[in-house]
Amino acid sequence: MKYKINLSGKGADCYLFKLTEEQYQYLSDNEVQQDTMDVLEIQDYLEIDDLGESDLTITGPYAEEDSLYLTVEDEQGNEIFNSDQEEDSFDEILENSKWVGTDYDESHFLAIEDYVKGNFFSAEIEIDEPFDVNKLSLTVTDLAEVRDIISSVSYDGKELELEWGDYWSKGFSFILNPIW
């Protein structure tokens, strides 16, 4: 039997840039997190031409009940799971999920967050038995203890190949990761 898992809602494209102590201090002193600078000013300061120059990008919906819309369809297109209608199951999926950090957690970094909405990704699976929502798990990336972004989906312990959907930008914000 084939099933299609769809994740949509509110989330982010986060472009991460490692910072020197001096760069971190400059951005902090200039209150970048309070939107006192725009993307172009930040790119000029960091001497980058494009956000795509980031060595690490995290994309996906937020791991929050009111931000994520998760559905599962059978091969006939019938919806067999809907996170809006089955809140208890959704909470259990989040509890069973794997929470990870980033490779940049031990250094100062700036995350340029492009707040986006739409259909993030879908994944198809083919299994012999009926779909069991309890075998579904998400990998959630904790970004500077400020954002939790779903970055991958697994079923029965196997990470699924994601097909990117269609989403659009709603504006930018900025997150600085301090080192304590």
Averaged over successive runs of 10 residues, the pLDDT of the chain (180 residues) comes to: 96 96 96 94 95 92 90 96 82 87 92 96 96 93 92 95 94 88
Per-residue confidence (pLDDT) for residue 65, from 0 to 100 = 81
113, 35 in Cβ contact below 8 A? Answer: no
Per-residue confidence (pLDDT) for residue 89, from 0 to 100 = 76
Helix (H, G, I), strand (E, B) or coil at 34: helix
CA 171 → CA 10, 85, 92, 176, distances in Å? Answer: 12, 29, 31, 17
Strands 109-126 vs 163-164: parallel, antiparallel or unpaired: antiparallel
| pTM of this prediction exceeds 0.85 | yes
Per-residue confidence (pLDDT) for residue 50, from 0 to 100 = 92
What are the residue boundaries of the structural domains of the chain, listed by start?
2-177
Per-position DSSP letters for 129-172, written without gaps between them: S---GGGEEEEEEEETTTEEEEEEEEETTEEPPPEE--EEEEEE
Per-residue confidence (pLDDT) for residue 180, from 0 to 100 = 53
A 10 A CB-CB count for 95 gives 8
